[in-house]
């Protein structure tokens, strides 16, 4: 499903649903759902849902959901949900949910959920009772009672009773009773009773009773009863009873009963009863009873009862009872009971009971 219009030049490998208009040049590897308009140049590897409009130039590696409009130039690595509008230039590494509007220029490393509007910058140290409103960028150390509203970014250490609203970014250590709302970024250690809502990003160690809603990103170690909803990114070790919904990214080791819904990306080792839906990427080892639906990428070893639906890509070794539906790419070795449907590419070795539907796939 690749469409090229108006002198588009492209080198595509394993790309789906790419649209180029008005002299778009592109080198794509494993890219899905890319739209390029008005002289967009792009080198994409493993990128999904990228739109370049009005002379946007883009060098993306492993980037998802990037929109560049009006002459935006960007060098992105591992960036998700980046929107550049009106001549925004950005060098982003490992950045998530970055929005540049009205000619904003940004050099971000490891930044999440950053909104730059009308060039507001702020550097604060040892500040108390600070209220940042309307386009603030802030680095705070040892600050208490901080309220960030309307695009405030904050790095906090040893802070208590912190409330961030409207796209605040937070780096917290040893913080208690923290409420983050509306696209928060947080690094929390030894924090209890933390609620992240509306795009909260969190690096948590030893935290219990964490709830993430609306684009929450989280790295959790030894966490229990954690719920992440809507585009949450999660790095979990020894975590139990985790529910991830709506475009989650997760690295899970040695935990059970994981559910990833709506675009979750996951690296799982020794996980049981895992469900991923809507663009989930999964690296599973020794996993049982895994269900992947809608645009999944997966590397599975010794996994049983795997279901892939809607554009799932899978590298399976020693897997049994695999079902792949809707534009799947799969490298299967020693797999049994595999069903591939709708435009599948598959490298199968030693596989039994494989059903391929709608696409001719060689068994090797």
Q: In CATH, what number is assigned to the domain containing residue 38?
A: 2.160.10
Give domain status of residue 232, yes or no. Answer: yes
Q: Say what the pTM is.
A: 0.50
Q: Map tokens 């390029």 to a residue.
A: 36
**342 and 197, same structural domain?**
yes
Give domain status of residue 363, yes or no. Answer: no
Residue 11 pairs in a beta bridge with 27
Give domain status of residue 268, yes or no. Answer: yes
The CA dihedral of 215, 218, 223, 229, to the nearest 10 degrees, is: 10
What per-residue confidence (pLDDT) applies to 274? 72
Please say which residue of 111, 136, 166 terminates a domain: 111
Pair 236, 255: CB distance under 8 Å: yes
Give domain status of residue 70, yes or no. Answer: yes
Distance CA 271, CA 275 (A): 11
For 89-143, what is the HEC assignment?
A: EEEEECCECCEEECCCEEEEECCECCEEECCCCCCCCCCCCCEEECCCECCCCCC
Distance CA 31, CA 40 (A): 15
Q: What is the largest CA-CA distance in the chain?
A: 66
DSSP 8-class letter at 255: -
Give domain status of residue 148, yes or no. Answer: no
How many domains is the chain built from?
2
Give domain status of residue 229, yes or no. Answer: yes
Please say which residue of 96, 111, 126 terminates a domain: 111
Distance CA 247, CA 235 (A): 14
For the purposes of burial, counting CB atoms within 10 Å of the CB of 285, is it exposed (0-12), middle (13-18) or buried (19 or more)?
middle
Strand order in the sheet with 25-29: 9-13, 25-29, 41-45, 57-61, 73-77, 89-93, 105-109
Pair 276, 286: CB distance under 8 Å: no
Residues in the chain, how many? 364
Pair 3, 18: CB distance under 8 Å: yes
Distance CA 253, CA 239 (A): 8
**281 and 185, same structural domain?**
yes
DSSP 8-class letter at 23: S
What per-residue confidence (pLDDT) applies to 257? 66
**353 and 256, same structural domain?**
yes
**200 and 74, same structural domain?**
no
Q: Which pLDDT tens digits describe the chain residue by residue (364 residues)?
A: 455 554 454 555 455 555 555 445 555 555 666 666 554 556 555 566 666 655 555 656 556 666 665 555 566 655 565 655 544 555 554 454 554 544 444 544 344 444 443 333 333 344 444 444 443 445 554 555 565 555 555 665 556 666 665 545 666 656 666 666 655 566 666 666 666 655 556 666 666 666 665 445 566 656 666 666 554 556 665 666 666 654 455 666 566 667 666 555 666 666 666 766 655 566 666 667 676 665 556 666 666 667 665 555 566 666 666 666 554 556 666 666 666 554 455 555 555 556 555 443 333 2
Distance CA 45, CA 222 (A): 33
DSSP 8-class letter at 279: S
Pair 135, 114: CB distance under 8 Å: no
Q: What is the CA radius of gyration of the chain?
A: 21
**190 and 96, same structural domain?**
no
Give the pairing of strands 89-93 and 73-77.
parallel
**331 and 185, same structural domain?**
yes
Distance CA 24, CA 117 (A): 28
**338 and 262, same structural domain?**
yes
What per-residue confidence (pLDDT) applies to 231? 47
**188 and 94, same structural domain?**
no
Domain enclosing residue 7, as ranges: 2-111
Pair 61, 77: CB distance under 8 Å: yes
Please say which residue of 78, 111, 144 terminates a domain: 111
Q: Which two tokens stand for residue 23?
A: 């002299």
Q: Which two tokens stand for residue 32?
A: 């899905």
Q: Which two tokens stand for residue 299?
A: 């590397």
């Amino acid at each position: 499903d690749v469409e090229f219009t108006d002198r588009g030049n492209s080198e595509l490998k394993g790309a789906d649903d790419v649209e180029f208009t008005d002299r778009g040049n592109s080198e794509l590897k494993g890219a899905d759902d890319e739209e390029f308009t008005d002289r967009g140049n792009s080198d994409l590897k493993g990128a999904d849902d990228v739109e370049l409009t009005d002379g946007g130039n883009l060098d993306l590696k492993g980037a998802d959901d990037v929109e560049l409009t009006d002459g935006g130039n960007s060098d992105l690595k591992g960036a998700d949900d980046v929107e550049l509008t009106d001549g925004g230039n950005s060098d982003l590494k490992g950045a998530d949910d970055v929005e540049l509007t009205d000619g904003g220029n940004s050099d971000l490393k490891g930044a999440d959920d950053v909104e730059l509007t009308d060039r507001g910058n702020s550097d604060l140290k040892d500040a108390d009772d600070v209220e940042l409103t309307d386009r603030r960028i802030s680095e705070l150390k040892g600050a208490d009672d901080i309220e960030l509203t309307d695009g405030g970014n904050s790095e906090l250490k040893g802070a208590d009773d912190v409330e961030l609203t409207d796209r605040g970014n937070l780096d917290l250590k040893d913080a208690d009773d923290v409420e983050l709302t509306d696209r928060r970024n947080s690094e929390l250690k030894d924090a209890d009773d933390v609620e992240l809502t509306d795009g909260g990003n969190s690096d948590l160690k030893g935290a219990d009773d964490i709830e993430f809603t609306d684009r929450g990103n989280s790295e959790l170690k030894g966490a229990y009863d954690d719920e992440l909803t809507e585009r949450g990114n999660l790095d979990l070790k020894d975590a139990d009873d985790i529910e991830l919904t709506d475009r989650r990214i997760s690295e899970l080791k040695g935990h059970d009963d994981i559910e990833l819904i709506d675009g979750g990306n996951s690296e799982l080792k020794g996980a049981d009863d895992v469900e991923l839906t809507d663009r989930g990427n999964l690296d599973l080892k020794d996993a049982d009873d895994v269900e992947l639906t809608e645009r999944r990428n997966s590397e599975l070893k010794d996994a049983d009862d795997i279901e892939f639906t809607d554009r799932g890509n899978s590298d399976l070794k020693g897997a049994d009872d695999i079902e792949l539906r809707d534009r799947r790419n799969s490298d299967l070795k020693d797999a049994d009971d595999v069903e591939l449907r709708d435009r599948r590419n598959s490298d199968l070795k030693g596989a039994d009971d494989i059903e391929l539907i709608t696409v001719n796939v060689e068994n090797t």
